[in-house]
Structure formats: C-alpha cells, structure tokens
C-alpha cells in the first residue's frame, strides 16, 4: 500500500526541502497533501510535474493521511499532532515539541530505527545532534564513548529562509559601508559570529547546547553519557560544521576510526592531509551524506583513547528533512504495509 503523505509547513525552508527530497528519492506515495497557515493557502507548488495547491491546515486536513511530516514550530506541532494522530496518521515531527517525551521515540534511522515500533508520533532530533551522531555512533559502537566535547559552527539556514536572506542582505550592506539591518538574529551575522541565539539557562548553557546533550543520551540510550557542547552561529549560508572530541573506554587508532567511518551509512570521509582538504560547508551543502575529516589522535589523552574530528552536514537535508523522510520510508516498508 502506498501511503498518503501530508506536509505541514510546506512553504518553509524545511518544508520545501521535504518536497525536493521526496521527488529526488521517488518516495512511494498515493498522494501528497500540502498544508500551511491560512496566509499561504491558495498558493501552488510544483511537484513531480504537477502544481499542487497549498491548503490552510484545519481539523479535517489529516483525514485519510497515513504519514504527516511536520516542519512547523513546537507550538504548532503540539496543537496539530494529536489531531493528526486521531485522524489515523503517524506524525514525524521536526520541532522540539516531543523530543524529550519518554513515550515518544527520537530517531536517526542509521542509529535506532528499531525505536519506531508502533509509535504514532516520532520526533526528529535537532539538526546539530543528527550531524554529530552520524559520525560518533559508529565509533561508539566499536569502542564505546565515555565523553564527547563538541563545538558547533552553525549556518544561517538553521533559522530558516529569512535568516539566510538576512546574511546576504547584511553582507551587501556592510560591503557598501552601511550598518547591518537586523530582523532575525540579535547581532549582525555577516562578517561576525556569536553564541547561538537561544535562551541561556541557569547553568550557562543555551537551549541548543542542552538539546545536543539530552538528545544524544536518549538516542544512544545512554542516560549517563558525559557530553558538553558550545554552539555558535557563523556567517555561512547553509550546512553546519562541528568539531568533535571523543574519549573512549577502549583504545582506538585514527586508522581504525577511518576504516569504521568509511563503512558507516550516510557518512563520507574527506580527509586529505597532503592537500589540506577537509569537510567544508560548501561541499556539504545539498548533499545527503555527512562529511567527516581531520581524524586524528587526541595527543592529550593516553593510550589512544581520544580522537578529534571535524564534520559538516547540510542542516536542511540530513539535519532535518532527509532524516524525517528516511523515517517515513522505514514506516512504509516496515510498519505500514
């Protein structure tokens, strides 16, 4: 049976990426329903050679829908996910609304697809969490990580199309000697970087950093795994980068790490020391794989128990829409047939 799929938030950056990925992967479906806020209703979007209308989401929007891909904010997800489930749909939610609910699986298909089970709501992890763990997980399986230290360099794409446009506009303004116009970010993003623009908690960690810690523990089923994160916005249009330091319970050499990562699904090793060529956002943009390089022993740790590496991944693809579509494909082939 081919599923009927709905996209809530079809006009946003992730919603548009949903459409591109569904078309590129030729994901099986009986039909596609595009949903958004009333202000977007009546517009059309081209998909597989047809112009599909965008409908204002309402109480009957999910009737007959098998899989609903949500790419709106947490408050929208909390409002409409129960309605979609009551209508018979399985919801795959890209917001933070359900990620830390112990009753709802938080899934990266390459890591824990078995967690899906009979769940009616499935949470998509935070983009930075996904990109990091695409490379940490295969190493963790081989030698078991004791501690992870990560610093992120997060592109404007993480805040949507308007943020990407703000970066472009500010670059033009500042190169022309004009002050930067700020509407999305609290500080200029062009020719600048700053701590991730989420609320700082009492412990000094911002929301993005806390997400990386808590979500990784849940996905790995390792509630006591030691993790610390520093998340930063950088003047890059698309694709996040992360510097990751891992301490392992057992020794692991950089050669072993390269061999493990070369075989890991969804990962591409880019590690050319002679040419000084390693993962870059420009190469990761538009790609499904997460790029990993700068693989080296952490010389501060004894007995080959530490590794440093650098990873880049497209926040809109594997960090968001692609991961959700992969979950939908697992649902279709394993649970909804």
Report the pLDDT value the prediction gives residue 41, as an integer from 0 to 100. 86
| pLDDT per residue as tens digits for the range 73-99 | 899 999 999 999 999 999 999 999 999
Looking at the fold, whether 279 and 135 belong to one and the same domain comes out as yes
Looking at the fold, whether 163 and 121 belong to one and the same domain comes out as no
240 noted as active-site residue: yes
**247 pLDDT more than 60:** yes
In whole angstroms, give the CA distance from residue 264 to residue 279: 16
Looking at the fold, whether 93 and 189 belong to one and the same domain comes out as no
Q: What is the pLDDT confidence band of residue 302, given thresholds at 50, 70 and 90?
A: confident
Looking at the fold, whether 65 and 148 belong to one and the same domain comes out as no
Beta bridge mates, 7? 34, 69
127 noted as active-site residue: yes
Structure tokens belonging to residue 325 = 């579509």
Residue 206, domain CATH: 3.30.360.10
In whole angstroms, give the CA distance from residue 26 to residue 129: 27
Looking at the fold, whether 108 and 196 belong to one and the same domain comes out as no
Looking at the fold, whether 162 and 295 belong to one and the same domain comes out as yes
Report the pLDDT value the prediction gives residue 335, as an integer from 0 to 100. 52
Q: Are 145 and 248 in contact (CB under 8 A)?
A: yes
The fraction of the chain above a pLDDT of 70, given in percent, is 99
Report the pLDDT value the prediction gives residue 290, as an integer from 0 to 100. 98
> Among positive and negative, which fits the CA dihedral 230, 231, 232, 234?
positive
Q: What is the pLDDT confidence band of residue 334, given thresholds at 50, 70 and 90?
A: low
Looking at the fold, whether 262 and 154 belong to one and the same domain comes out as yes
Residue 34, domain CATH: 3.40.50.720
**337 pLDDT more than 60:** no
Looking at the fold, whether 247 and 215 belong to one and the same domain comes out as yes
Looking at the fold, whether 33 and 152 belong to one and the same domain comes out as no
What is the rounded average pLDDT for all residues in the chain? 95
**41-47 contacts, C-beta under 8 A, 24 or more apart:** 43/11, 45/10, 45/11, 45/16, 45/19, 47/19, 47/22, 47/23
Q: Which residue in 127, 231, 290, 312 is the catalytic one?
A: 127
Looking at the fold, whether 163 and 266 belong to one and the same domain comes out as yes
How far is it between the farthest Cα atoms of the chain? 63
Q: Which residue in 140, 240, 312, 332 is the catalytic one?
A: 240
Which stretch of DSSP H or E encloses residue 289? none
Report the pLDDT value the prediction gives residue 1, as an integer from 0 to 100. 80
The number of domains in the chain is 2
| pLDDT per residue as tens digits for the range 165-197 | 999 999 999 999 999 999 999 999 999 999 999
Looking at the fold, whether 82 and 99 belong to one and the same domain comes out as yes
Please give the average per-residue pLDDT across 112-122, as a whole number: 96
What domain range is 133 assigned to?
129-315
Q: Are 311 and 134 in contact (CB under 8 A)?
A: yes
Report the pLDDT value the prediction gives residue 39, as an integer from 0 to 100. 85
Tell me the whole-structure pTM to 2 decimals: 0.95
Write the CB contacts of 57 (distance below 8 Å, at least 6 apart in sequence): 8, 35, 36, 37, 80
Q: What is the pLDDT confidence band of residue 263, given thresholds at 50, 70 and 90?
A: very high
Looking at the fold, whether 162 and 266 belong to one and the same domain comes out as yes
The fraction of the chain above a pLDDT of 90, given in percent, is 92
């Amino acid at each position: 049976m081919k599923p009927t799929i709905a996209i809530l938030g079809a006009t946003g950056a992730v919603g548009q990426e949903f459409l591109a990925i569904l078309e590129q992967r030729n994901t099986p479906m009986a039909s596609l329903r595009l949903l958004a806020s009333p202000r977007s209703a009546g517009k059309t979007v081209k998909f597989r050679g047809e112009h599909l209308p965008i409908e204002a989401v309402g109480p009957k929007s999910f009737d007959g829908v098998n899989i609903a891909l949500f790419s709106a904010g947490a408050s929208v997800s909390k409002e409409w996910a129960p309605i979609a489930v009551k209508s018979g749909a399985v919801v795959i939610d890209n917001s933070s609304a359900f990620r830390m609910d112990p009753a709802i699986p938080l899934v990266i298909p390459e890591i824990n697809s078995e967690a899906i089970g009979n769940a009616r709501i499935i949470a998509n992890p935070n983009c930075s969490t996904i990109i990091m763990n695409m490379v940490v997980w295969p190493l963790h399986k081989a030698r078991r990580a004791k501690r992870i230290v990560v610093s992120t360099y997060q592109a404007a794409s993480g805040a949507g199309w308007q943020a990407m446009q703000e970066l472009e506009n500010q670059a033009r303004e500042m190169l022309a000697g004009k002050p930067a116009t700020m509407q999305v970010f609290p500080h200029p993003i062009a020719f600048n970087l700053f701590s991730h623009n989420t609320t700082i908690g009492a412990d000094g960690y911002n929301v993005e950093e806390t997400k990386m810690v808590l979500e990784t523990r849940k996905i790995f089923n390792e509630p006591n795994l030691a993790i610390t994160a520093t998340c930063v916005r950088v003047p890059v249009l698309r694709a996040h980068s992360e510097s990751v330091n891992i301490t392992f319970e057992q020794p692991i050499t950089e050669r072993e790490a390269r061999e493990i990562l070369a075989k890991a699904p969804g990962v591409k090793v880019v590690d050319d020391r002679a040419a000084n060529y390693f993962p870059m956002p420009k190469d990761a943009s538009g790609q499904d794989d997460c790029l990993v390089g700068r693989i080296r022993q952490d010389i501060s740790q004894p007995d080959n128990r530490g590794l440093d590496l650098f990873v880049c991944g497209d926040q809109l693809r594997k960090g968001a829409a692609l991961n959700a579509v992969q979950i939908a494909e697992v649902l279709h082939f394993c649970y909804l047939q």
